Each structure stands twice: as structure tokens, then as C-alpha cells.
Structure 1
Amino acid sequence: MGDRKEQSYRNMIFTGVMDDESELIPIITEGEDVELKDFEAPEILPILPLRNTVLFPGVVIPITVGRAKSLKLIQEVFRSDKLLGTVTQIDGAIDDPEQKDLYKIGTVAKILKILEMPDGSTSVIIQGKRRFEIQEYLEEFPYFKAKVRLLEEIVPTDETAEFNAIVGSLKDLSVKIAQYSSNVPPEASFAVKNIENSTFLINFICSNTDLKVDEKQSLLEIADLRERGIQAISYLVQEVQLLELKRDIQTKVKLELDQQQREFLLNQQIKTIQNELGGNPVEQEINDLKEAAKEKKWSEEVAHHFDKEVNKLQRLNPAAGEYSVQFSYCQTLLDLPWSEYTEDNFDLKHAESVLEEDHYGLEKVKERILEHLAVLKLKRDMKAPILCLYGPPGVGKTSLGKSIARALGRKFIRMSLGGLHDESEIRGHRKTYIGAMPGRIIQNIKKAKSSNPVFILDELDKVSGDFHGDPASALLEVLDPEQNSEFHDNYLEIEYDLSHVMFVATANTLSTIAPPLRDRLELIDVSGYIMEEKVEIAKRHLIPKQLESHGLTAGQVEFPTGSLEFLVERYTRESGVRELNKKIAKVIRRIAKKIAFDEKYQRTLTVDDIREYLGVEEYSRESYQGNEFLGVVTGLAWTAQGGEILYVESSQSKGKGSLTLTGNLGDVMKESAMLALEYLKSHADELTINPAVFENNSWHVHVPEGAIPKDGPSAGVTMVTSLASVITGRKVRKNIAMTGEITLRGKVLPVGGIKEKILAAKRAGIKEVLLSDENKKDLAEIKEVYLKGLKFRFVKNISDVLNYALLKK
């Protein structure tokens, strides 16, 4: 019942109320204290519950009547000119209070005026007369009626200096509050100054002070007017101190206002307007960040760091440039999959079938991957090893990573390192820099939304360094299982755990990878494919893929094995199958065109069809050229595209013992040729060579295809055999190829790339391969099918080579 009316009603409290006949209703009784003391009231009174206000004796207040029960009570009391009792509700929020919801002590009131307001509500002007205490409630319907006992006011009979000081203090404090507070009308101080009666002054101030309802009720319940005044002073002093503090702060802020603060205030006004229109988008963004953070599985350390950064974001002005930087940082922290992992599929049969389905051959690689999965299945928390697949282009190193991810059921990420030369690409920039962002490692982890993906680091051997730093050194932390559990990204400023990521690096060659980085890798050689494997890969993978890409079906085109072998042999020269894939695509495009034009074509492709679609044969078969000429020897070489056969030609002419080298040879190959000639000079007797030959002749060593740079020690035995052949006049044995490094004392040292070289020899139709005795162990790792049809001879020194390779005649 009865909220205090708006500002107009507050003005009525201090200025009086005009009735219809322009008679001013006084707000304070101008009589003596004896008028309140001798006031009599019936023993039984109707009780009007008041909401959020307390009526004091002698004080006039307006109340708004809204409840039906209260309206009926007011109308009946006003018609009969009776008195009523006002009691304040303990909880103003209760709409229909019961007896237990009302205070026991209230004030007898008299209705002075009932006003019908323009908005249809009813307002009542009432005046307090005397305090009472409820003895018992007699009725509840249609409104409360109770038996009451009037309470005495203990008023000082002779106003002492102390009492006068209390009254004076109340006046001064009330005037100060009226001056400081914008909520109190100016007439308030005028009314307080003109009240002469001490009793009414104390009650008036208690009634109109901005106190809580329970504090006003406690003042009403104090019978001694002097004690009531002292208690009121304690409340007013607190209010004055608070208002003075507010005024001091406002004065200080006003003096310190500058352009930025002015903009801030304007932004606050905009924020208020936005809230009225449906909410501030900036606050909504921050609240969204906080709500999303509740769902994260991050550690306490990360959670504390995020809360600190979001609190910093809240303190920033949205118009400042730093706000967007800070918001992006918080969003990045939130987007990262902290401690979020996909569940690994440890069905090893499934993993094996996936690897077999996606890749033909590569047995060593598949075996190593299955070993890792087996250990992971048993141990569950094994730190992921760093596998490095190295080999020529097009052999399926990158696609192996996809197969590993599919077998494990993990997310897949591929990051190309080709041409990377800035360390910040790995570690990121500090967030204070303009345009700062995390490194590509963290960016890809965020994109994958999982902390345990299969992460392919492609082209590791193409990383280079410059004045921006050395990315290879930054990769040391990423690729070290002992360090990457606390990987530090400059942008994040907090460690991120990469130990569950399965890193797989790929490279074409190991020579350009920094030794410390190579030391952290588990190297797996992915060598080239032989003819049979290429044909099988084309049938299983390349042809179905290209048919689907060009809108054809398997029934429209058929590649017989013979046609595929012809295509591989005459139109490709590689270890992998990338060029083969392009040639197959070209053939299928030609067929698709014929189908689209309704032209006739051969469904089963012959060698002639392949030649028609692809044109003139690009490569002649690498074949053995015979031993009709002295000084022509077949060598075996390794290239990034796989193995190749290499011819070394030597000629002898009259001269003074000089050696000429041609064929775009590197320093190592030139040194091998010089070693070969020096060996022959020093062992002329053993080879039955006349020493005068070395004084009266000159030699020319040439390696064909002079436009192609060639280097390496593998041609050492080939060069010594070529020179020995031309000097001794002994031809080279038929169908033989060789590889190996030589020393000045005649030793034959082992070389690498044996599998690729053997494949090249087999393609060329070589029947016998001569190798260093120490390369015997390399054959044990090569599948038997690769060795079929080849004969191997192992040598320890150059004399063994020459005794076998050169014919006696």
C-alpha cells in the first residue's frame, strides 16, 4: 500500500496541498505538544498497511491507494470521519500482506483529503496523530481491524541545552542535505527553518530523511523524543558525509576532465542509449567471451590468465585502438583447443587396411607407422615421435600423412615450409606489434580445433634463414618431444602443449636440413617406384581418380598393362608418379573430348592410341649401349627424381699428360677423375702399362648431357674403369654398371641411393651391377622383386674392379 508519489508529491510534503476551494492544508500542526499527548482514539481501529513509508505523529504525507481492500477502507473512514491506524509493511514487495508481514507499532492517522488524479489513481493526504501498538487483530476482511494501545511520547518538559543542541544539529544537517542533494526540493530548507515546535521538527525530519524503511521504523519505535533526535542525527551525519564525499569527487573529476574523458562520458551516454535500444554490443561481446570461457577445459593457470586479460579488456575504451588488439587476443585464447583431443582409433587392422588402400608399396613406412600405433595402444600416453619421410618428389610422402590421420581418426593439418625464412612464422609476433598474430603452428592448431592432430610439415628441406632469424632453429622446440609440451608462442605469452601432436615432416633431401634439427627426426626413406609398382598405382589410384575428375566411368576407358608400361617408359622419367598422373589426365581429356563430340574412339587403349594422344615419345629407353668402344663405361647416379644411368666416356690423344674434363661436372667429380688418373699412374706396373704412355699422351673425360650439372663421389669407379680401358686398350665387360667412391690408395668406398640406382639399372636392361663390398648390407633392405634379374658383384679395391670389369683382350 502506498508508494511515495513522484516529485510533485514530494513538493506537496513541503509546500502544503491545495484543495478544490484553494484552502492550504498545513503540513505541520502548529499547536503545542499537549495536542498530541491528549489526543484520544478508539480502542479498535481499521488498519491501513503502508508500503515503503512510515508515518510520524504530526506529519502530513500523501499516499497513493491502489489495493481494493485499502481503497474500501479509505472510502468508509472518510465518509464517517473516523480515524484509522497506519502500519508499515516489513517487506514492501508483498502485494497482499498478512498480519505477520506488518510491524506492531504504527501511527493513528486522520484523512485530510482524497484526490482523484488524472491518471485514474486515488491519492490520500493523511496526518499522523499519535503512536500506537497493536494488541491483537480482530478482523481481516474486508480490511484489517485491530485492538490497539496508544503509546506515550516522552517529551522533555524543560528544554535543556543538550536538547536544544540536538534540535539545532538536526536543523543544520537537514539544511546541508537540502543544499547538497539534488533530490530534495529547495523549499525543504525553508520549511525546516520555520518549524518552531521541537517535537514536530524531529518527527518531520525523521519522516522526510532519505532513510531505509526499517531505519525509519526504528526511529518511530523510540518513545523518548531526545533519543529519537540523537538517533536521527547519527543517520543524518552519515548521509551528509556521503554527500560531501560525492561532491568532492565530482569537483575533482570536473577539474580533471580532458578531451579523452569527455569522449568517455559521451560513450557512456551512447552505451545507455544502446542499452535502452536492446543492449550494448560491446558489453554483449565481453559477456559472450566470459560465457564461452566457462565451457573450456583449460588449466587453472590458463583460466586465470584469460580472466585477467578479459578484465583488462573491460577497462579499455572501445574507441581506442588497443581495444581491438586486446579483443582479438582474448578471442584467440578462447578459440584454441586447450586440452581438447579427438579419440584415437586403435583398431590396428583398420589402420593397416587404410594404409594398404591408400598406398601401394612403401612397406617400411607402413610398418613403422603400425609399430607406433601399437605402442600408443599399449601405453596410451606415449610422446609422439617426429617422423621424417624423405625421398624424391611424387612418391606419396604428403598423402601418407593424410592416411595416418584417417587411420587414427585424427584431424589433419598440412603446413608448407617451402621458402620459409622468418622465425616469427613459427613463433608468432608479440601482440604489441601492429598486425600481430600467432605463429602458423598455433594458427593451424586453432583451425583444426584439436590438440592432437596429425601435423604435416611439408618441404622441411626448403627452409632458409635470413636477417629475420632462422626458422629451422625455431622448429627445434616444435620437433623435440622433450620441449614441445611447453611450446612458447610470442603472441600467446603462455605455453601451449604440443606433445600430443603427431608431427610428420617431409623432405626431398637431408643434406639441406640443419644437423640439430635432423637429429630430432626419425628418418624414413621413401624411395622411388619400379615399373611394376607404377603400373599398379596407376590402376588402383590414378586412373579412377582422373576418370571421376573428367566425368567418365570405368566402362568407357580401359588401360591395359602393356599400354601403361609404354606410357610410363616413354613419357615419364621420375621416381614418383606425379608426371604419370598428368599424362593419364591428358589421355583421358582427349577421350572426353571425343565422347563430347560423338566421335569414335578405341575403348581399350593400345600403344598406338597412347602415342596418338600424347604425341612423340619424350624419352628413349635408358638402355645399355654396348661395349664396342674403348673407354665407355655405364655408371649409376642418384638424383632428386630417382636413380639414373650415367655414361662416362674417355679418349686418348698425343700430348703431354694433361687431363681435360667436360660435361658440367662438380668439384667432387673432377677430383674423382684426377684420383683415377693418379691411381693408374702409380699402379702402372700391376696393370702392365708402359709408364711412357703417361708422358706422351693426354686424356679427355666427358659425361654426356652436358647441360645438366653433375656432382658426387659415386662415379669414382666408373671414371677409373673408363680411363683404364682407353689406356690399356681393353674393352669393358658387357651389360655391367657400377657405382662407388675411390681413394688414392685404391679402396672402393660405399655410396648411398642403392635402391634408386638398382631400379635405374633394371630399367636400362643392365644384367650385372658392381658395388662396394660395404654396400652389401643395403641389399638386405630391398625387396626381392627389385633384385630379380640382376647379378651383383662386390669389390673392396680398384684392382678388383679392373680385373673383373675389363676384358683380358
Structure 2
Amino acid sequence: MNQDIPFSLPILPLAEYVLLPSIVTTFMVYPSEADYLTNHASNYVICVPLADKKRNKTHATDLSQLFHYGCVAKIIECDRTLPDICVLKVEGVCRSRIRDVSSSDGGGQYKALLEHYPDQFKDLCLQDQMSFQTVIAKFIEKMKYIGVSSSVLNELGLLVDRCHISHVANLMLCIMDSPFCDKLRVLEQSDTKQRLTQVNDAVNRYLKMINVTSTSNQNEMLFDSIRRKFYLLKEVNSISYNQQQEEENYQFKSLSQDDEEILDLVRKLNQAKLPEYAVTAVKRDLNRLRKLPESSSDSAVLRIYIEYMADLPWQHMSATELNISSAKEQLDADHFGILEYLSVLKVKKDAKPPIICFVGPPGVGKTTLGMSIATALKRKFHRMSLGGVRDEAEIRGHRRTYVGALPGLFIHGMRQCGVQNPVFLLDEIDKLVQGTNQGDPSAALLEVLDPAQNSTFIDHFLNLPYDLSQVLFIATANSLDNIPKPLLDRMEVIQLDGYTFNEKLHIAQTHLLPKQIKAHGLGFLNLGIPDQVVMHVAEKYTRESGVRGLERLMANICRYKCCEYTNLEEAGKVEQFKRQVGVEDIDGILGSEPFEDDMVESEDMPGVITGLAYSGSGNGGIMFVEASKMPGSGNLHLTGSLGDVIQESAKLALSWVKSNAFTLKLTSHSKENLVQHDDIHIHFPSGAISKNGPSAGVTLVCAIVSLYSGYHVSPTTAMTGEISLRGRVLPVGGIKEKVVSAHRAGIRKIILPFRNRKDVEEDVPDKVKDDIQFVFAKSIWDVLEAALIMNTSDKWSHRIYESRL
């Protein structure tokens, strides 16, 4: 309330009208009365209704007829152009109680001693406000139902959205034909909550009074009455509220010349609760937008910018009730590290979420796991695919100097989620295109994924800091090799291995088959696909780390059975339908088997070694290495579609064997060149398949030593590992996949690097470990002792032992 309002004001008695705060209206008064009212220094009057509204004049000669409450009004204008009458335009300011009345001239002009009761805008709970807004919505809906013009109702809705709820209540009483006594009760009620309750009752009575079955003439009269009252109030600026209250409750003001779209933007901006630094920038751009013509390209960019600023969640957080027990049920039990992160978020509410990166072959459930985390946290989920993104502006947005400028993926995602703490899944982060002429998007991600910087992330379109620190970022990748090291350093890497066949069987029976049977409508047939059929399909028809291909094959089986059932039903032979799928049926449903199991060779011969391989898709398998020698001059020939790394491993293996040939009893003296008169040819079968990677070093050494020593390696023994020039055995990856595939191929002894012992203990299934003998080697000498089969009379093993000492 304006503090300049005096507590003693001249009285303007009202015979048939009740003025309420925030309402602007006009009164007809005599010139002498106008002189008395306008000559008051404060330019305020107290409008007091007469308790007996049957008075024909507005002059009160009997003080007992004055109501004990009135509305302080500010005189806006006094029009004296009409003869013998003056038009006063006044604005209601606040309700006041009449404490005493005195005559200023001993005649009919009076002054009142007042006690002011300004509106309390902060004493309403959210439930009260929502209740009243529901009643207003019912009123507008009822008016729409009985045929009131939509343009009138739209303008009324805009005014309701822009104004304080107390002002809206006063407006409703003016629009409706509320009884005079109802308005008096609202005027004297100083408690805002009680006043809203009274207005609620008045609106509900008015809605019940409307007869929707009235004749068209009656309806038209009602419509005209509502339109007339609404436009009359609008023409005199019916919803006005004092400047101080406007500044207190609203950050952005609407102007009388604003169009409907700008009014809607202003309303959204006031609801968005922007921080102070953003308010200053948006006010400047909002004023620019008002001055620009709609056809201007700058106008379109500014509108999009302000819409984004209004729609972004600046303070709204989604409620998260994190229950670790339910989260554990939601997530896979193997990913215990994820539960640790969630536990930290539960204990420390304001902890910055970690940046998690799931790395694994396709189809192992990286994206699904991210969705499960969002479900466990009860947060909004947003997925963005980064595969093929080559423009830095996709991350940081375009500057508004360009026509058609838009924000980046992160600001767009925040707008879609509507909360400050969603879960963002950055899919295929290793597929980002680097080093293009549009900039480096991976470098732009450094600020987003840095917990120390993303609280002030600046998008070029917004050109303002935006807080991303509450977002839980989850990235997925197939390989770490293509992720830049500075970006990788900002993420917590969690490896997801490919599934074993037993795991695929469990997933298929638990999730894939019920899903496909339901999708194809076969639930009523009790279709059964036994475990041995699923295992047969997984082994003979798929070579993948995940279960996408297996799910497609299950869908193929379901479609085949659908077709079979339809044909038998049309032929009237439904009883012949076979509800159980057998292994013998798979060849006719899916065709011939595209894959065969890797089997060890039964014949053992020098120079042929069984190695273990791992493909980038998450599959493992055995790989044969064949070595032979021929007359030549010491050249090394390599075939089998080999990459640079594996070729270097072959050269390294040959160098080590040549340097240790005398110790290995392959030469007669230490200065003799082992391959002086020979060429060595090393071949990797299946030449159509590209092979590369640092895991064949020990296999190549054993192949060369076996070739020159004449000793062979058992076909049921396999090995993997890389070597150094000094003969140390270095660890390799993909142990679980390699071991499981070796077990499936019939391998019973596996030689592994000593530093891979932990991988075997933690990842390899117990059933596989029980069937295989593991040898963990620290040096290549350990590998040779465990791999080569020698005669019992040979002293070579003793010679090796002595050389190692």
C-alpha cells in the first residue's frame, strides 16, 4: 500500500455501487462536490457505499446510512466538459474501516477517520490459490459452453494470468451480477483467504443460476451483458494495481500496446523465476522485441530466444525419493559401482552427480541401463545421440547474429525436460567427428562434462551462464580408443562385457521371449521355446556380444508360428498346430546355420599354435597360428589380413627368439644366426577377417620356437598375451570373452598373463573355471614351460631354469 495515503479523507457516498480495490471506474458528481473532492491535497477519497441502496441520490444526509467499510480511491481524472455534471475517474486502492465521520462545513460534505487494511499478497497457501483458480477455470469453461465469444474469454484468461489472485476476485464480482450484499461482505472482509472463499461461493451460485436450456434470446441477452461489463471494465483499465505491488511480485511488465504473443511471453517469464543476471538481459531483449516489426528476421530470433529463456527450468527441481533397495532391484546386480554413486547422492543431497561412461560392445544394454538409472532415481530422462555430430554449434548453440539461430543440444534438452536435475544419456560419445572445419564438438563437451565448470555453462544462443551441475550425465561408447584423453579424464568409466551364452539364455527366457510372444499375440497359444532351442539359436545363428540379433531371431520364430497357425485355422486343422518348438524345426524356420563352433584340431604338429582372439563386437574365439620355414635369407612373411600392431608383434617375437636361440638350444653357439639360411612364413587362417591388436605376442613366440625345436603344443592348449623385448608377458583385454569361447571350442588349458588373474577370478563363470586349467605367466619362459611338450630325457627345461637365474 502507498504509505502517502492519509488516514482522514473526504467521503464519496455511493448509492448503488460498491468499489473494490484494483478496479477503475467513473462516477457522476455535481461540480460543487467535485471541487470538494479534488481540492484535497492527497488526491485520494474514500468511496463508501450506502447500507440502504434504495437511496436515489449519492448525497448522504443521514450518517447512519453509510456502510462501516469503504474503499480508498485515487482520483485519476476529473472531466468537466459536460454541463452541470462532472465525471470522476477513480482507481480503487485499498479497503478501509470507518472509525469516525465529521462534517467539514457543517453541511453535506463529510470527512472520515479511517483504518486502512491493505491486501496481504503473501498470506495465501498454494492450495488456496489452486482452489480459486479451479473455480475461475470452471467459470470460463461454462461461459465457453453456453456460447460466449472465445475472444472475450481469451482476453479474460490473459488478465487472470497476469494479475494477482486478489485482484482477479474483485474482477469476478464486477463481471457477474453479484448481489449488492455479497459485494458488501467482500468489501468488509480484510482476511484474504476468507474473501476468496466468499468469492468462490458467489461464482458457484452464479454458475448454478445460468440455465443452459434457456431460449436463444435469453442466452443472447446474457452474452451481451457479460461482453458489455467486460469491455466496459477493460476500456477504463479495470485491472490496475499499484506500482509498488507490481514491482514486488513481477520481474517483467506488460504494456498496453503489447500483442497477445508478447503478453504470453511476459506471463511465462514471470513464472520462470529467472536469476537476476538473466532478468537484466531478457528485459533488454524484450524491449527490443517490442520495437521490432513482426516481419523482421531479428524479431523471429528474439522471440525464439525469449521463449527458450521462459521455458528453461531455472529453479524447478524434480522430487527424488531415492531408495537404494528399490534401485538395486531396478539395476543389474553386477554393476555395484553404480549403486555406490546412487548411495552418495542419497547421503549428500547436494552432491554433484558423477559423469558415468558405459563402455562395451553393441547390444549389451548400455542405453537400457541408463534408462533404468533414471527410473530408479525418479528423474526425467533425455537421450541425445552424438554419433556423427560434427559441428561445435550442436553443443554450444549458434550465436544470435545468425538467421535461424538455435541453442545447442543441452539447452534444448533442458527445455524439453523442464527440470534442473534430469538424467542425460550421451549416446555413442565415441562416434563424435573430430577436427572438422566446423570446430571440434568433443572439445566443446569438456565444459559440459567437467563438474567444476558446468555450473556456469554458457550456450552461445543464450549468452548467459546456465547451471548444468545437477544433471546426471551418462555416456555410452563401444570403445575408449576414439574418445579424446581430456574428455575421457572427466568421466568415470564402467566396462560392460558381452554376454555369455548362459546369460543370453537367461535374458531370452526372462525378457525377450515373453516380450515377443506378447507383441505377436501368441499368448493364448501357450507357445513354448525350450532352453535347448534358445541355446541352439544363440550358438549357431548369432555371433554378437549383446542380444539384439537373438531378439530378432526370436521374433522370426514367433512370426513363423503365427503364419503356421493362421494357415491351419483357415484350413480347419487347428488341432495340428504344434505349440512346442524343437531344435529340429529351427533349420526350416531360420534357414541353414550361418556359423559353426570353433573346434580344436585333433592333429598336433610343430609350428601350429592355438591362440585366443577378441573382436570389437564383444565376441571371442580361438585363432590358429601356423608357422613354416623355407630356404631363404632370413626374411619374415606374414599373411592373413593383419594390421600394423600384430605385424609388429610378429617382428618382436622373431627378434626375441633369435636373441635367445642359444639358450633355447636352437643354435650350437651364441653367435649363430638362427634364420641365416631360412625364410619364415607365419599365416593366420580366415584371411577374409581383419586381425589386429596386442594379444598375439606369446602365441607367435611359441609358434617359432615350436617350429625350430620340433616340440609341439597340445591342440587343447590355448594362450593369449603380449610380450616385451625382454620377454615379459603383458596383460591384455577381453579375457572373459576369450575364455568362454575357448571353453566352447574344447580348450582345456589356457595360458594367460599373470596380471590377468583378477579378470579370471571376477568375470569368468564358475562352471567354465571348473573345466579349464589356468596357467598365469609372468615371462615368456613360463609360457614355454607350460606350453611345449618335451621328451622326459630332454634337459631343455633345466637349461631354461638356469638361464632365468
Q: Shared fold (TM-score greater than 0.5)?
A: yes
Q: Which amino acid aligns with 1:400?
A: L
Find the aligned partners of 1:749 and 1:335 in 2 and give their Cα distance.
Answer: 55
Distance 1:732 1:326, change over 3 A: same
Range moving further from structure 2, 617-626 or 398-407: 617-626
The alpha carbon displacement at 1:403 in A equals 0.3
Where does 1:12-161 land on structure 2 (aligned, <5 Å)?
A: 90=36, 96-98=57-59
Give how far 1:783 is off.
5.0
Q: Determine helix, strand or coil for the equivalent of 2:316.
A: coil
1:807 Cα deviation after fit: 1.2
**How many residues are treated as equivalent by the alignment?**
560
Report the alpha carbon displacement of residue 639 of structure 1 after superposing the two structures with TM: 1.8
Q: Displacement, 1:784?
A: 4.5
Alignment partners' CA distance in 1, 2:681 and 2:598: 24
Deviation at 1:354, TM superposition (A): 1.5
Describe the shift of the 1:398–1:138 C-alpha distance in structure 2 as closer, same or farther (beyond 3 A): closer
Aligned CA distance change for structure 1 residues 601 and 489 (closer, same or farther; 3 Å):
same
Partner of 1:746: 727
Aligned mates of 2:632, 2:33 — CA distance in 1: 135
C-alpha distance in 1 between matches for 2:721 and 2:385: 35
Which residue pairs with 2:499 in the alignment?
A: 529
- The whole-number CA distance in structure 1 between the counterparts of 2:105 and 2:662 is 143
Take 2:108 and 2:480, find their aligned partners in 1: how far apart are those partners? 103
Structure 1 segment 4-403 matched on structure 2, within 5 A = 90=36, 96-98=57-59, 283-356=259-332, 363-365=333-335, 367-403=336-372
**Alpha-carbon distance change, 644 to 339 in structure 1, aligned in 2, over 3 angstroms:** farther
What whole-Å deviation, never above 9, does each CA across 1:168-213 have from its counterpart, x for those lacking one?
xxxxxxxxxxxxxxxxxxxxxxxxxxxxxxxxxxxxxxxxxxxxxx
1:501 paired to 2:483: no
Tell me what 1:626 maps to: 602
Q: Report what 2:686 is aligned to.
A: 705
Q: What are the superposed Cα offsets for residues 7-66 of structure 1, whole Å, 9 maximum, x if unpaired?
A: xxxxxxxxxxxxxxxxxxxxxxxxxxxxxxxxxxxxxxxxxx9xxxxxxxxxxxxxxxx9
Query: For 1:396 and 1:368, how far apart are their aligned partners in 2?
Result: 16
Alpha-carbon distance in 1 for matches of 2:657, 2:786: 16
Alignment correspondent of 1:442: 411
Tell whether the 8 Å contact from 2:719 to 2:750 is kept in structure 1 after alignment. Answer: yes
* Match in the other structure for 1:23: none
Paired with 1:514 and 1:523, the residues of 2 have a C-alpha distance of 14
1:575 aligned onto 2:545:
yes
CA deviations on 1:600-621 (whole Å, 9 max, x unpaired) are 4432111111221111001001
Partner of 2:158: none
Change (3 A) 1:696 1:289: same
Deviation of 1:281 (Å):
9.8
DSSP 3-state at the match of 2:263: helix
In 1: Cα distance, 2:108 partner to 2:687 partner? 124
Deviation at 1:629, TM superposition (A): 3.2
TM-score by length of 2: 0.65
Structure 1 residue 674: Cα displacement: 1.8
- Pair 1:538-2:488 in alignment: no
The code of the aligned residue for 2:464 comes to I
What RMSD over aligned residues (CA atoms) do the two structures have, in Å? 3.1
Paired residue for 1:775? Answer: 756
Is contact 1:297-1:340 (8 Å) kept?
no
1:142-162 deviations in Å (ceiling 9; x for gaps): xxxxxxxxxxxxxxxxxxxxx
Quote how far apart the aligned CAs of 1:312 are: 2.3
Distance 1:478 1:718 in 2: 44
1:138 and 1:565 map into 2 onto residues whose CA distance is 105
Q: Equivalent residue for 2:644?
A: 667
Query: Is the Cα contact below 8 Å between 1:460 and 1:505 reproduced in 2?
Result: yes
CA distance in 1, matches of 2:373, 2:455: 22
Q: Aligned in 2, Cα 1:335/1:715: closer, same or farther, shift over 3 Å? A: same
User: 396, 401, 420: which one pairs with 2:389?
Assistant: 420
Q: Does the 8 A contact of 1:391 with 1:640 survive in 2?
A: no
Using the aligned pairs only, state the percent identity.
Answer: 43
Contact 1:627–1:732 under 8 Å retained in 2:
no
Question: What amino acid is the match of 2:57?
Answer: D
Q: Indicate how the Cα distance of structure 1 residues 575 and 135 shifts in structure 2: closer, same or farther if over 3 A, else same.
A: closer
Structure exhibiting the larger radius of gyration computed from Cα positions: 1
Distance 1:534 1:281, change over 3 A: farther
Cα distance in 1 between the residues matched to 2:412 and 2:584: 52
Q: Which of residues 456, 459, 462 in structure 1 aligns to 2:425?
A: 456
Residue 771 of structure 2 aligns to a residue whose secondary structure is coil
- Cα distance in structure 2, aligned partners of 1:138 and 1:665: 113
Q: Does the 8 Å contact 1:386/1:522 carry over to 2?
A: yes
Q: Does 2:685 match 1:685?
A: no
Q: Which amino acid aligns with 2:510?
A: R
Q: Secondary structure at the match of 1:694?
A: coil
Correspondence for 1:551 among 486, 496, 521: 521
**Is contact 2:658-2:673 (8 Å) kept?**
no
Q: In the TM superposition, what is the alpha-carbon distance from 1:585 to its structure 2 partner? A: 1.3
1:571 corresponds to which letter in structure 2?
Answer: Y
Contact 2:736–2:764 (CA<8 Å) still a contact in 1? no
Checking the alignment, whether the CA contact within 8 Å between 2:272 and 2:311 is kept in structure 1 is no
CA–CA distance in structure 2, aligned partners of residues 568 and 665 of structure 1: 28
Task: Please state if 1:590 is matched with 2:560.
Answer: yes
Contact 1:657 1:699 in 2 (8 A): yes
AA in 1 matched with 2:772:
L
- SS of the residue corresponding to residue 755 of structure 1 reads helix
Is the contact between residue 269 and residue 309 of structure 2 (CA under 8 Å) also seen in structure 1?
A: no
Q: SS state of the match for residue 304, structure 1?
A: helix
Evaluate the alpha carbon distance shift between residue 124 and residue 485 of structure 1 in structure 2; reply closer, same or farther with a 3 A threshold: closer
The residue identity in structure 2 corresponding to 1:669 is: I
Pick from 663, 676, 680 the counterpart of residue 695 of structure 1: 676
Shift of 1:720: 1.2
Deviations 1:754-784 (A, max 9, x none): 2222222222221111011222233343254
Cα distance in 2 for residues equivalent to 1:438 and 1:447: 12
Q: After the TM superposition, which segments of 4 or more aligned residues of structure 1 sit over 6 Å from their partners?
A: 92-95, 123-126, 278-281
Letter in structure 1 aligned against 2:408: G
In structure 1, the residue matched to 2:769 is 787
Cα deviation, residue 661, structure 1: 0.5
The one-letter code sitting in structure 1 at the alignment partner of 2:745 is A
- Cα deviation for residue 399 of structure 1 reads 0.5
**Match of residue 737, structure 2, among 756, 762, 787:** 756
SS in 2 for 1:330: helix
- Whether contact under 8 Å (2:428, 2:475) holds in the other structure is yes
Tell me how far apart the structure 2 counterparts of residues 399 and 294 of structure 1 sit (CA, whole Å). 38
Distance 1:124 1:713 in 2: 106
- CA deviation string 1:554-586 (max 9, x = no partner): 743211111111111000111111111111111
What is the CA distance between 1:596 and its match in structure 2? 2.3
**Structure 1 residues 755 and 451: alpha-carbon distance in aligned structure 2, compared to 1, 3 A threshold:** same
Residue 312 to residue 536, structure 1, CA distance change in 2 (3 Å): same
- The yes-or-no answer on 1:652 pairing with 2:652 is no
Is 1:407 the counterpart of 2:376? The answer is yes
1:518 aligns with 2:495: no
What secondary structure, in the 3-state scheme, does the structure 2 residue paired with 1:698 have?
A: strand
Give the direction of change, closer, same or farther, for the CA distance of 1:330–1:803 in structure 2 (3 Å limit).
same
Moved more, 561-570 or 723-732: 723-732
Counterpart Cα distance in 2 of 1:702 and 1:280? 85
Aligned-residue offset at 1:384: 0.6
* Amino acid across the alignment from 1:676: A
Q: Which runs of 5+ in 2 are unaligned?
A: 1-12, 14-26, 39-46, 50-55, 63-81, 86-103, 110-233, 238-254, 570-575, 792-805
- In 1, Cα distance between the equivalents of 2:268 and 2:724? 69
* C-alpha distance 86-771 of structure 1, shift in aligned 2 (>3 A): closer
- Residue 137 of structure 1: CA displacement? 5.8
